[in-house]
Structure 1
Amino acid sequence: MASPKRRAPYLLSLPALLFFAALLVTPLAMIAGLSFQAFDLNTGQIGGLTLGNYADTLGDPYYHTIFLRTVGIGLATTAICILIGAPEAYFLSRMRAPWRSIFLIVTLSPLLISVVVRTLGWALLFGRNGVINQVLAALGLASGPIPMLYTVQGVVIALVHVAVPFMVISVWAALQRLDPKVIRAASSLGASELTIFRRIVLPQIVPGILSGSLIVFALAASAFATPAIIGGRQLKVVATATYDEFLGTLNWPLGAAIAIVLLIVNAAIMLTYNRIVERRYARFAQ
């Protein structure tokens, strides 16, 4: 029988585990069970289990296009957030007080605004008569309205605005472990700025970039409000397709199957990315 000391960590973790199971595991299990239910357009859900919902999801080219678009939007958003967020966090860490705190608050300020409000603001900017097209026309840089609303590019730009703060936070947290004395020692020994960044700073921020990338990709690939408003009905992603099945056609089993497939695809991409980056990071650190 385990001693009280060995049981203590499990007992202390039990309330959190029960809370986690109640709010996440149980709904996911219910959705997974629903995805195997049979459905009839005339009568709704009918008795019996079937794999037809997954066959429709995996075998229909319509859903292939939606999944490829969703993954592409997630990868593009992640790449742009890395290019913007990592340097931004690095420069913020090198600022002096009080400018560092001021610019950090400005960077994180989008998180204080509802995602719907932010997305509606981008919709106003992207419209044919929006601010961006009006400015371009006034400067003579465009002969006509540039289509940005209801496009993949518009969705990616809006998602980057939503997700960049998460990348900045992740890289910022990684940079807090960097001892400034190490950088000063390398500089005193004649190392260039590029060498210092490549040999000292970069290995420290790679874990932050990794964790930030996983967060950003998960948010972008499962986003609903931003693709629904910016993409509209013409540009469907998996989240909006699932919404349509649940509340449009009322085909809940098919919507549940689409959601489960998205979860599996996201988990597979994130685990693969995690392993590849960790292996290359381990070789780089050596």
Structure 2
Amino acid sequence: MSVVATEPAKPAPASAPRRRLLFAPYLLNLPALLVVGTLLLVPLAMTLILSLHSFGMYTGVSSDISLKNYAEIVRDPYFHEIFLRTLRISFLTTLLAAALGAPEAYILHRMKGGWRAFFLLVMLGPLLISVVARTLGWAMLLGSTGVINQMLLGLGILSAPVQFMYTETGVVIALAHVLMPFMVISVWAALQRLDPQVENAAISLGASPFTVVRRIVLPQIMPGILTGSIIVFALAASAFATPAIIGGRRLKVAATLAYDEFLSTLNWPLGAAIAVLLLLANIVIILGCNRLVERRYSQVFQ
């Protein structure tokens, strides 16, 4: 009998499945990229292009391309004042939200389960209400005949009403309340990594509660505070409803100024230039703060 030798079957090339696996993440992300590109990047690109056109009172938006609008913003002290006011209000709002939101998140973290869930719902519940409704509530509280002034006058603390409306103080107070939940959520996420046994060990070794918070808790939740500060600052700098209602027509910020240029004077290119500069300022500040957050995370959790 003769035995016929057969060659072993060659394995199928693995390049095609490997290529499909290589492109799978891009294919899965394609719908999200299309949505982001259509609803975000395309309008931003159109706004940038619009900001490069000029405007005439009788001719409207012209077809020429120049940096005239940006040069006008850079040269005019009026725009400098408005952008500085926007950054000042955003910075003070962030400080107030961090000063109140971080301790509140820590107190919620130390509560028992049932009470913690209840007060967390109370804290995050305002997010379910329109920002306009919340701001109108603050307008009624901060007015010269509002609840706060009437209470202070009734107690004899004040002899005349304090002017909160149409001031930076009133805008900062209202914005801090509107944006406080974002700070609480960020600090709350950082507190989930905190081991309560470390605090108990420090107390058993003789450390005071203040020392425990300052030396153990605060360094570990600082990344959460910085993250919340980035979110609050970005939202405060681009806020429109709260500064428009509390600040009124006299106290303009960048968002309300862009709105007026679009709808009042109909100078769309100048309004688009203001919006682009506000976006660029936000991006620069956020990227700088993000570097601090990453550095802090690497120091705490390395």
- The alignment's TM-score, normalised by the length of structure 1, stands at 0.94
The structure 2 residue matched to 1:75, chosen from 71, 85, 91, is: 91
Q: Distance in 2 between matches of 1:86 and 1:212?
A: 9
- Spell out, residue by residue over 1:121-151, the C-alpha distance to the aligned partner (whole angstroms, 9 max, x if none): 1111111111111111111111111111000
SS class of match (2:64): strand
Aligned partner letter, 1:12: L
Unaligned runs of at least 5 residues, structure 1: none
Q: Does the alignment pair 1:27 with 2:43?
A: yes
- Superposed, 1:33-112 pairs within 5 Å as 33-112=49-128
Aligned partner letter, 1:52: K
CA contact (8 A) 1:178 1:201 kept: yes
Aligned partner letter, 1:223: A
Q: Distance in 2 between matches of 1:285 and 1:49?
A: 50
Q: Distance in 1 between matches of 2:161 and 2:262?
A: 36
The alpha-carbon deviation at position 185 of structure 1 amounts to: 4.5
The alpha-carbon deviation at position 58 of structure 1 amounts to: 1.6
- Spell out, residue by residue over 1:140-191, the C-alpha distance to the aligned partner (whole angstroms, 9 max, x if none): 1111111110000000000001011100011111111223344444445555
Q: Does the alignment pair 1:232 with 2:248?
A: yes
- 1:164 is matched with 180
How many residues matched? 286
Q: Distance in 2 between matches of 1:270 and 1:246?
A: 26
- 2:238 is matched with 222
- 1:150 is matched with 166
RMSD (Å) for aligned C-alpha atoms: 1.9
- The alignment's TM-score, normalised by the length of structure 2, stands at 0.89
The structure 1 residue matched to 2:191, chosen from 165, 169, 175, is: 175
- 1:254 is matched with 270
Larger radius of gyration: 2
Unaligned runs of at least 5 residues, structure 2: 1-14
SS class of match (2:189): helix
Structure 1 residues 143, 183: closer, same or farther in 2, change over 3 A? closer
